[in-house]
């Protein structure tokens, strides 16, 4: 895992394939270019996320699984999940309250908020035309209650 990516993309909304900005497959978007549709609330919260260039993701409250697809690039839906060992290894220090571990962090800093910091290998059924084959998603979504 390239931990420098986390620092490079901090406070950015990023989704795509490749572990470096500018590969042409990673979309870094302004907040007004992204839609996060919040469905229901609390433990039943589901978020449908769309970004430019065809990226779509679905998150379900409490789950580490992010379902991602991109019809424009021919990438069928795939479940990305951060392993528990990676989450534990990237836990922020107590004096870093605004930092998050890798994976999906729910209800922090408040209810209805979700932080996504995800990096994983692309699945074999995604034909990636890039030397960088990792999928990455970084976003902070707030669903008003």
Full 3-state SS string of the chain = CCHHHHHHCCCCEEEEECCCCCCCCEEEECHHHCEEEEECCHHHCEEEEEEHHHEEEEEECCCCEEEEEECCCCEEEEEEECCHHHHHHCCCCCCCCCCCCCEEEECCCCCCEEEEEEEEECCCCCCCCCCCCEEEEEEEEECCC
117 is in which domain, residue-wise? 12-142
The single residue listed with the structure tokens 């571990």 is 101
Looking at the 3D structure of the chain, how many domains does it have? 1
On whether residue 70 sits in a domain, the answer given is: yes
Task: Round the average pLDDT of the chain to a whole number and report it.
Answer: 83
On whether residue 88 sits in a domain, the answer given is: yes
pTM over 0.85: no
pLDDT in tens, 63-80: 999 999 999 889 999 999
On whether residue 57 sits in a domain, the answer given is: yes
pLDDT of residue 27: 74
Contact 35, 49 (CB under 8 A): yes
The single residue listed with the structure tokens 């998050």 is 100
On whether residue 7 sits in a domain, the answer given is: no
pLDDT in tens, 9-39: 455 688 888 755 555 567 777 778 889 999 9
On whether residue 115 sits in a domain, the answer given is: yes
């Amino acid at each position: 895992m390239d931990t420098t990516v986390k620092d490079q993309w901090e406070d950015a909304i990023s989704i795509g394939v490749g572990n470096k900005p500018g590969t042409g497959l990673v979309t870094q978007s302004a907040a007004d270019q992204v839609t996060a549709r919040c469905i229901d609330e609390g433990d039943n919260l589901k978020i449908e996320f769309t970004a430019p260039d065809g990226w779509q993701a679905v998150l379900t409250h409490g789950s580490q699984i992010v379902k991602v697809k991109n019809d424009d690039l021919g990438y069928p839906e795939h479940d990305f999940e951060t392993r528990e060992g990676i989450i534990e290894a990237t836990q922020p220090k107590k004096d870093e309250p605004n930092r998050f571990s890798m994976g999906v962090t729910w209800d922090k800093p408040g209810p209805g908020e979700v932080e996504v910091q995800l990096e994983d290998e692309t699945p074999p059924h995604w034909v990636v035309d890039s030397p960088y084959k990792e999928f990455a998603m970084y976003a902070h979504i707030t669903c008003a209650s």
